[in-house]
């Protein structure tokens, strides 16, 4: 039996409903560029999450982007689930 994979990486997970966009901005904006990776699911229709991520990316020191299937999760990055979707790990 193999030993479980152990990581020293930290991960922050945020879920927000309608109206949570400004709360997410308030949490992300002061974070340092080397913050732990952040996964975000924001209740938002498809087509709006990309522009939301781009706006946050301009305001924050961390990189903020709309998540894409199969991409690697990195420290200093926040990944927003595409509208009408959730994030899942393999």
Q: How far apart are CA 76 and CA 22, in angstroms?
A: 20
> Which ranges in 1-90 belong to alpha helices (H)?
21-28, 49-59
Q: How far apart are CA 86 and CA 25, in angstroms?
A: 19
* pTM to 2 decimal places: 0.85
Place of tokens 């991520």: 53
Residues in CB range of 36: below 8 A, 6 or more apart: 9, 10, 11, 12, 75
What are the boundaries of each domain within the chain? 11-80
Task: Tell me the pLDDT band of 6, cut-offs 50, 70 and 90.
Answer: low
Model confidence pLDDT, tens digit, residues 38-52: 999 988 888 899 999
């Amino acid at each position: 039996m193999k030993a479980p994979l152990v990581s020293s990486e930290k991960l922050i997970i945020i879920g927000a409903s309608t109206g949570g966009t400004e709360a997410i901005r308030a949490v992300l904006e002061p974070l340092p560029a080397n913050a732990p990776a952040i996964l975000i699911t924001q209740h938002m229709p498809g087509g709006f999450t990309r522009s939301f991520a781009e706006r946050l990316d301009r305001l924050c020191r961390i990189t903020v982007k709309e998540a894409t299937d199969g991409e690697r999760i990195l420290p200093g990055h926040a990944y927003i689930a595409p509208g009408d979707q959730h994030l899942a790990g393999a």
